[in-house]
Amino acid sequence: MRQRIDVPVPMRDGVCLSTDIRFPETPDPCPVILIRTPYNNAAFSGEEAAYVAAGYVVAKQDCRGRFDSDGSFNPLVEPEDGHDTIAWIHAQPWCNGRIGMTGNSYCAITQLSAAWTRPPGLDAISPGVMGNDFFKGLVYHNGVFNLSLAIGWGTGVAGRTGQGNETTDWERVFNHLPLITMDEAAGYRLDYFREWLEHPTYDEYWAASSVERHFSDMDVPAFHIGGWYDMYAAGTLRNFCGLRSSGGGRARGNQKVMIGPWVHGINTRVAGQIDFGEEATVPLEMLRWRWLDRWLKDDANGIDDEAPVRLFVMGVNRWQNEQTWPLERGRERAWHLASRGAANSLHGDGLLTTESVQHTDTDTYLYNPAEPVPTLGGGCLRAPAGPTDHQPIERRDDVLVFTSDWLQEPLEVIGNVRSVLYVASDAVDTDVVARLCDVFPDGRSIILCDGIVRARFREGLDREVMMAPGKVYELTVDMGVTANVFLPGHRLRLEVTSSCFPRFARNLNTGEPAATGTRMQTARQTIHHSAAHPSRLILPVVPAAPSGR
């Protein structure tokens, strides 16, 4: 292996980005694999060494303003640097004109944002664990500030090198108000963190960097990889669907996706509190390698003939192949909320039923932003992430708990989950969190997926419209995606509450701007469920087992 370390690759504005390049032992031009990272290009993995041994040039670059690269780091803004780097590589005598990209998380951002600029020679990408829009599912989640990610990750990439934050008092930082000075509370001054907060609605600032807005501009084959407990699970699937249906040129029809039972750190057997068995791990490096070989070397390795969708179905813990997402044979089934008015906590009388509720009833709880419901597992970066027992949370009176009867037959749920809730509050603005759990025979209530809606965005993410206190509103909560078989002897459970902290920033219930608000108000929340207000959980149910598993 030959190498050139710290090669200065010039960008259009004259800034040079440090790029380490490894070459196979051949004088001939070769296909190139590019990895652009903010996490130090000096780390060279065994997988990358194997690419070189297989005849690829591997170019690994520090993003602008990180480690050995010049300039200032502006998180999430990568299109131009990606385009210019690929154009530079394409013009080098050691490149045969064919370039691919790979990597997870932020390294997936660098792939997707470069792809929509259509740089010369970019023939394949393999983005892992990344979503479709930074306002809808990264810095914000459908308008709610992704607090622990924004401040935790945001401080971690402050400066040129990684920040460990071992001495940061996170409890104090997370509770700091106003949000706009939370960076100072952590000991930093982060212009990008404040810039994110200064754009609290979906405007051109967010649209310009949206992957989904650029689907039609992308003409590259892509192999998408995600995890059911990754915070970007739904976005990973939206990228697959969007490029498959709306991408240009080679993108249409040349997309594949694999979703495992994983958190943001993919390809593990154990996630959270669940061991998914030996099948949960796959030869992921080999799968990516086959994808790159197909598009960069024209290797007839049969990958074109394989199913475009490969999913791990939890509960039965097995992989299955599909031709579409969502599954064509999936059917939406509604589970209605019912109670005698006391669904508070798992000790209450909340019920999920497939029968329509004919009587009129409501459930109420008090949401106090000063004592929010804590984050416990699920799709988050902070530990513990993944499938986690939610009984500690379900013992709280500010959590409504609706549980089905014991199942007599397996119930296979694969697809997008949502709930439609009829909500009234005595506040002008508030949040509603809905969460689906699989209740095991021993009582464990394992989170599958969840979502949050901020009432002020009920008419669109581009505008803030306050509530009339006491008025009933229909709110749809997008609860993300899952693939799970609820086994006989298990039960379904829906939690309804108003906070998941510190994963999401607290709604203070006062209607103040999210960035500068400091005044808290306890809100009385009322969930209506009746014939007139049919609050319900909507599940994508697979009515029969697919053939050819």
115 and 32 share one domain = yes
Annotated active-site residue 230? The verdict is yes
Q: Which residue range(s) make up the domain with 481?
A: 331-542
Cα dist from 393 to 184, 295, 367, 383, 509, whole Å: 31, 48, 14, 16, 21
Mean pLDDT within 373-390: 93
pLDDT in tens, 136-145: 999 999 999 9
Residue 161, domain member (yes or no): yes
371 and 238 share one domain = no
pLDDT in tens, 231-267: 999 999 999 999 999 998 899 999 999 999 999 999 9
Q: Which of 84, 133, 219, 230 is catalytic?
A: 230
CB 281 within 8 A of CB 345: no
pLDDT averaged over every residue in the chain: 96
Annotated active-site residue 264? The verdict is yes
pLDDT category, 121, cuts 50, 70, 90? very high
Residue 202, domain member (yes or no): no
- Does residue 524 surpass a pLDDT of 90? yes
Percent above pLDDT 70 for the chain: 99
Residue 468, domain member (yes or no): yes
Torsion from C-alpha of 18, 153, 114, 267, nearest 10 degrees: 100
17 and 119 share one domain = yes
CB 398 within 8 A of CB 367: yes
Mean pLDDT within 408-429: 98
342 and 253 share one domain = no
82 and 150 share one domain = no
Q: Could you give phi then psi for residue 170, rounded to 5 degrees?
A: -65, -35
358 and 451 share one domain = yes
Residue 318, domain member (yes or no): no
285 and 335 share one domain = no
Percent above pLDDT 90 for the chain: 95
Q: Which of 264, 336, 490, 528 is catalytic?
A: 264
pLDDT category, 545, cuts 50, 70, 90? low
CB burial readout 224-258, b (16+ within 10 A) else e: bbbbbbbbbbbbbbbbbbbbbeebeebbeebbbbb
- Does residue 549 surpass a pLDDT of 50? no
Token pair listed for 153: 């990750």
CB 530 within 8 A of CB 536: no
102 and 227 share one domain = yes
Torsion from C-alpha of 383, 389, 393, 396, nearest 10 degrees: -160
Q: Where on the phi/psi map is residue 160: left (φ > 0), alpha (ψ -120 to 50), or beta?
A: alpha
Give the ranges where 91-140 is alpha helix by DSSP (H): 106-115, 134-137
Residue 319, domain member (yes or no): no
Residue 295, domain member (yes or no): yes
Give pTM, 2 decimals.
0.96
pLDDT in tens, 150-170: 999 999 999 899 888 899 999
77 and 47 share one domain = yes
Q: Determine the 3-state secondary structure of 277 from DSSP.
A: coil
In this predicted structure, what is the pLDDT of residue 251? Answer: 92
Cα dist from 521 to 427, 430, 491, 510, 511, whole Å: 8, 10, 35, 6, 10
Residue 493, domain member (yes or no): yes
Q: Which residue has the higher pLDDT, 111 or 43?
A: 111
250 and 364 share one domain = no
In this predicted structure, what is the pLDDT of residue 358? Answer: 76
Domain boundary, last residue among 285, 313, 341: 313
Q: Could you give phi then psi for residue 260, rounded to 5 degrees?
A: -105, 180
384 and 418 share one domain = yes
Q: Which of 105, 209, 445, 535 is catalytic?
A: 105
527 and 395 share one domain = yes
- Does residue 133 surpass a pLDDT of 50? yes
Long-range contacts of 280-289 (CB under 8 A, 24+ apart): 280/312, 280/317, 282/258, 282/319, 284/225, 285/47, 285/50, 287/223, 287/258, 288/102, 288/126, 288/223, 288/225, 289/50, 289/51, 289/54
3-state secondary structure string across 449-471: EEEEEEHHHCCCCCCCCCCCCCC
Residue 548, domain member (yes or no): no
In this predicted structure, what is the pLDDT of residue 547? Answer: 47
Torsion from C-alpha of 87, 39, 162, 228, nearest 10 degrees: 130
Mean pLDDT within 481-495: 98
Q: Given 3-state DSSP classes, what are the helix, strand and coil percentages for the chain, each rounded to the nearest 5?
A: 20, 30, 45
Domain boundary, last residue among 168, 197, 226: 197
pLDDT category, 445, cuts 50, 70, 90? very high
- Does residue 296 surpass a pLDDT of 70? yes
- CB atoms inside a 10 Å sphere around CB 4: 12
Token pair listed for 106: 């932020």
> Total structural domains in the chain?
3
Domain boundary, last residue among 172, 197, 222: 197
- Does residue 548 surpass a pLDDT of 50? no
In this predicted structure, what is the pLDDT of residue 172? Answer: 97
In this predicted structure, what is the pLDDT of residue 357? Answer: 80
Cα dist from 79 to 51, 76, 508, whole Å: 25, 9, 36
pLDDT in tens, 326-344: 999 999 999 999 999 999 9
Cis peptide before 178 (omega within 30 of 0): yes
3-state secondary structure string across 470-492: CCCEEEEEEEEEEEEEECCCCEE
Annotated active-site residue 419? The verdict is no
Token pair listed for 210: 């949206």
Torsion from C-alpha of 381, 383, 389, 394, nearest 10 degrees: -80
